């Protein structure tokens, strides 16, 4: 089970003196323009709901004016929502008084802004330790923690320099180090890399992903750039006019965009460079034991029309495949391992589809998908790849609302789940040796 760190439910934010009246109009079904015409209030967030799990990167994105930065600031109440609920580790943030809110922010959140927000008259070390200074941490401890954070982001040796002596990318690293130094579990990052040059920006994105995997921080990252959201690899909450128009993993949004707005957002993205094989793979149910014979197995195939089956050993590693005809033609109860064809084309679940296209072209029966330890998690066929490249809805087999997915592999930044699904007609069962 995943540990939910943040839950946002039905959050509304209206700007202006007549927010209460505007909220009543919103509740009665009035739209953004009508509310503004009648009250002068501006609707910034319109019943926004999402959650963030422990150790994941959630990217809140949209064009200018979509409400993404407003939503981020509502999480730690730099902006007070007009209505709705925001819970962080079970605490209702919207009800905290001023004093408790300050303490809660210091304990839970680290903030990284677009424009670095470094003090020009302080050294990098002094900037990084500022949050600890505010918390009353002793001089020696805060310096030690600041230097550790500085080294972590690759600025070792620059601690005595001033911000003006650092490049933009280095200044942003210092800003990230300051957030890490306070050791907050949750990082809120508002367009943190958008002011950087493209190459430095990609470098910082890679750095953030590496740090997140190492330190298991929970990150809410605001961006207007879909390429950036995809590169960070987490779930995406896509906003427009203060509302969420779609949320999900990048490949889910790319292959099944909801509405014209989302379609326009994703139309120029190379799907094959985004979809991971693990997300695309047809997940197989648990396999049979080595003692099973072909005669015992064949009746269990039912109406499945596919004839390629991955055979795995006790360690769940693919070692061969078997055709439906071979199973049907065996009347002597031969064990599966005597009938199988040895040799299996494999690819890692974390690889993107583009890397596997040459192998798929020469393997009409599909290739076996394995996790980082070589364990079998499913199969990708030519037909599945073509559906994904064509953006066909349903090309990606996603977990249901209960959180149960149909395989035990794990993608970067996504929660692990247990296998407990029944194969659909046409799926390919696994036979254990």
* pLDDT tens-place string over residues 332-383: 677 777 777 777 788 898 888 999 999 888 887 788 888 888 888 888 888 8
Q: Please tell me the distance from the alpha carbon of residue 59 to that of residue 72, in angstroms, as a whole number.
A: 10
Do 25 and 99 belong to one domain?
Answer: yes
Residues constituting the chain: 433
Which H or E run includes 74? helix 68-75
Do 27 and 175 belong to one domain?
Answer: yes
Which H or E run includes 43? strand 42-53
Q: Where do we find the tokens 């509502």? A: 74
Dihedral angle sign, alpha carbons of residues 182, 185, 189, 193: positive
Do 288 and 191 belong to one domain?
Answer: no
Which H or E run includes 370? strand 367-370
Do 182 and 295 belong to one domain?
Answer: no
Report the pLDDT value the prediction gives residue 400, as an integer from 0 to 100.
34
Do 241 and 299 belong to one domain?
Answer: no
Q: HSE on the CB side for 368, CA within 13 Å? A: 26
Mean of pLDDT over the chain: 81
Report the pLDDT value the prediction gives residue 288, as an integer from 0 to 100.
47
Q: Where are the alpha helices (DSSP H) in 164-289?
A: 168-181, 198-215, 226-232, 250-255, 260-266, 277-280
Q: Where do we find the tokens 């009800």? A: 95
Report the pLDDT value the prediction gives residue 113, as an integer from 0 to 100.
79
Query: How confident is the model over 261-267, as a mean pLDDT?
Result: 87
Q: 248, 267, 292 — which closes off a domain?
A: 248
Burial class (CB within 10 angstroms; exposed 0-12, middle 13-18, buried 19+) of 89: middle
Chain-centroid distance, C-alpha 320: 33
In the DSSP assignment, the letter for residue 425 is T
C-alpha distances in angstroms, 35 versus 32, 40, 417?
Answer: 5, 7, 43
Q: CA gyration radius for the chain?
A: 26
Query: How confident is the model over 5-13, as a mean pLDDT?
Result: 96
Q: Looking at 11-20, 100-109, 277-286, 414-423, which range is the least confident one?
A: 414-423
The answer to whether residue 268 sits within a structural domain is: no
Q: Is the pTM of this model over 0.85?
A: no
C-alpha distances in angstroms, 70 versus 39, 336, 397?
Answer: 20, 59, 33
Query: How confident is the model over 317-322, as a mean pLDDT?
Result: 72
Report the pLDDT value the prediction gives residue 305, as an integer from 0 to 100.
56
The answer to whether residue 271 sits within a structural domain is: no
- Reported as a single tens digit per residue, the pLDDT across 183-242 is 888 999 998 888 778 888 888 888 888 888 888 889 999 999 888 888 887 899 999 999
Q: 196, 230, 248 — which closes off a domain?
A: 248
The answer to whether residue 253 sits within a structural domain is: no
Report the pLDDT value the prediction gives residue 233, as an integer from 0 to 100.
79
CATH number at 103 reads 3.40.50.300
Chain-centroid distance, C-alpha 179: 21
Do 416 and 277 form a contact (C-beta atoms < 8 A)?
no
Q: Please tell me the distance from the alpha carbon of residue 13 to that of residue 81, in angstroms, as a whole number.
A: 5
Q: 209, 230, 248 — which closes off a domain?
A: 248
C-alpha distances in angstroms, 422 versus 258, 285, 299, 426?
Answer: 28, 7, 16, 12
Task: Give residue 72's pLDDT band: very low, low, confident or very high (50, 70, 90).
Answer: very high
Residue 317 has pLDDT above 90, yes or no: no
Query: How confident is the model over 44-53, as a mean pLDDT?
Result: 96
Report the pLDDT value the prediction gives residue 301, as an integer from 0 to 100.
64
Name the β-bridge partners of 109: 186
CATH number at 387 reads 3.10.580.10
Do 60 and 129 belong to one domain?
Answer: yes
The DSSP line for 268-299 is: TS-GGGT-BHHHHSBPPPP-B-TT-BHHHHGG
CA-wise closest residue to 164 among 210, 104, 124: 124
Do 296 and 353 belong to one domain?
Answer: yes
Query: How confident is the model over 83-101, as a mean pLDDT?
Result: 95
72 is in which domain, residue-wise?
4-248
Report the pLDDT value the prediction gives residue 322, as an integer from 0 to 100.
73
Report the pLDDT value the prediction gives residue 402, as an integer from 0 to 100.
28
The answer to whether residue 267 sits within a structural domain is: no
Do 283 and 232 belong to one domain?
Answer: no
Do 147 and 125 form a contact (C-beta atoms < 8 A)?
yes
The answer to whether residue 266 sits within a structural domain is: no
CA-wise closest residue to 109 among 136, 91, 83, 97: 91
Do 227 and 274 form a contact (C-beta atoms < 8 A)?
no
Q: Please tell me the distance from the alpha carbon of residue 404 to that of residue 187, in angstroms, as a whole number.
A: 28
The answer to whether residue 171 sits within a structural domain is: yes
Burial class (CB within 10 angstroms; exposed 0-12, middle 13-18, buried 19+) of 116: buried
Q: For the chain, what is the domain count?
A: 2
Task: Give residue 177's pLDDT band: very low, low, confident or very high (50, 70, 90).
Answer: confident
Report the pLDDT value the prediction gives residue 391, as an integer from 0 to 100.
65
Do 214 and 299 belong to one domain?
Answer: no
Do 298 and 424 belong to one domain?
Answer: yes
| Most confident by average pLDDT, 163-177, 268-282, 300-314, 330-344 | 163-177
Do 203 and 332 belong to one domain?
Answer: no
Q: Please tell me the distance from the alpha carbon of residue 411 to that of residue 404, in angstroms, as a whole number.
A: 14
Residue with more model confidence, 428 or 202: 202
What are the tokens at 296? Answer: 């015992």
Q: Please tell me the distance from the alpha carbon of residue 175 to that of residue 425, in angstroms, as a whole number.
A: 53
Q: Looking at 149-163, 252-266, 267-281, 393-407, which range is the least confident one?
A: 393-407
Residue 36 has pLDDT above 90, yes or no: yes
Q: Where do we find the tokens 């950036």? A: 228
- Reported as a single tens digit per residue, the pLDDT across 374-426 is 888 888 888 888 888 876 545 554 433 323 233 222 333 333 333 333 333 33
| Most confident by average pLDDT, 29-33, 252-256, 292-296, 318-322 | 29-33
The answer to whether residue 374 sits within a structural domain is: yes
Report the pLDDT value the prediction gives residue 168, as an integer from 0 to 100.
84
Do 367 and 238 belong to one domain?
Answer: no
Residue with more model confidence, 307 or 78: 78
Query: How confident is the model over 316-338, as a mean pLDDT?
Result: 72
Q: Please tell me the distance from the alpha carbon of residue 423 to that of residue 168, in angstroms, as a whole number.
A: 52
The answer to whether residue 366 sits within a structural domain is: yes
Chain-centroid distance, C-alpha 58: 6
Report the pLDDT value the prediction gives residue 365, as an integer from 0 to 100.
73
Give first-to-last CA distance, the chain, whole Å.
Answer: 30
Q: Phi, psi (5° rounding) for residue 268? A: -100, 10
């Amino acid at each position: 089970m995943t540990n939910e760190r943040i839950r946002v439910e039905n959050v509304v934010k209206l700007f202006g003196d007549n927010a209460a009246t505007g909220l009543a109009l919103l509740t009665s079904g009035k739209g953004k323009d009508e509310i503004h015409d009648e009250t002068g209030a501006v609707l910034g967030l319109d019943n926004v709901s999402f959650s963030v799990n422990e150790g994941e990167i959630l990217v809140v994105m949209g064009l200018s004016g979509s409400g993404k930065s407003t939503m981020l600031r509502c999480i730690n109440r730099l902006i007070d929502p007009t209505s709705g609920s925001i819970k962080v580790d079970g605490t209702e943030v919207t009800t905290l008084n001023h004093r408790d809110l300050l303490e809660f922010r210091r304990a839970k959140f680290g903030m990284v802004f677009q424009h670095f927000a470094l003090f020009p008259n302080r050294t990098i070390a002094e900037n990084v330790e500022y949050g600890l200074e505010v918390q009353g941490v002793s001089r020696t401890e805060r310096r030690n923690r600041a230097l550790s954070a500085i080294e972590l982001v690759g600025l070792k040796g620059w601690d005595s320099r001033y911000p003006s002596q650092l490049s933009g990318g280095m200044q942003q690293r210092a800003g990230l180090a300051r957030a890490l130094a306070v050791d907050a579990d949750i990082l809120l990052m508002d367009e943190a890399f958008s002011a950087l040059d493209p190459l430095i920006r990609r470098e910082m994105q890679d750095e953030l992903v590496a740090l997140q995997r190492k330190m298991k921080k929970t990150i809410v990252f605001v961006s207007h750039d879909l390429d950036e959201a995809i590169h960070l690899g987490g779930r995406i909450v896509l906003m427009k006019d203060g509302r969420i128009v779609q949320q999900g993993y990048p490949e889910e949004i790319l292959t099944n965009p909801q509405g014209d707005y989302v379609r326009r957002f994703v139309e120029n993205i190379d799907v094959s460079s985004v979809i991971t094989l693990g997300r695309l793979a047809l997940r197989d149910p648990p396999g049979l034991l080595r003692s099973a014979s072909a005669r015992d197995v064949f009746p269990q195939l039912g109406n499945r029309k596919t004839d390629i089956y991955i055979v795995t050993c006790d360690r769940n590693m693919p070692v061969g495949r078997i055709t439906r005809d071979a199973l049907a033609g065996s009347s002597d109860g031969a064990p599966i391992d005597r009938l199988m064809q040895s040799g299996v084309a494999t690819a890692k679940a974390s690889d993107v589809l583009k890397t596997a296209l040459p192998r798929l072209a020469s393997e009409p029966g599909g290739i076996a998908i394995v996790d980082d330890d070589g364990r079998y998690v499913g199969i990708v066929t030519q037909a599945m790849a073509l559906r994904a490249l064509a953006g066909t809805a349903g090309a990606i087999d996603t977990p249901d609302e209960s959180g149960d997915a149909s395989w035990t592999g794990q993608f970067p930044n996504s929660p692990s789940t247990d296998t407990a699904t029944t194969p659909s007609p046409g799926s390919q069962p696994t036979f254990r040796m």
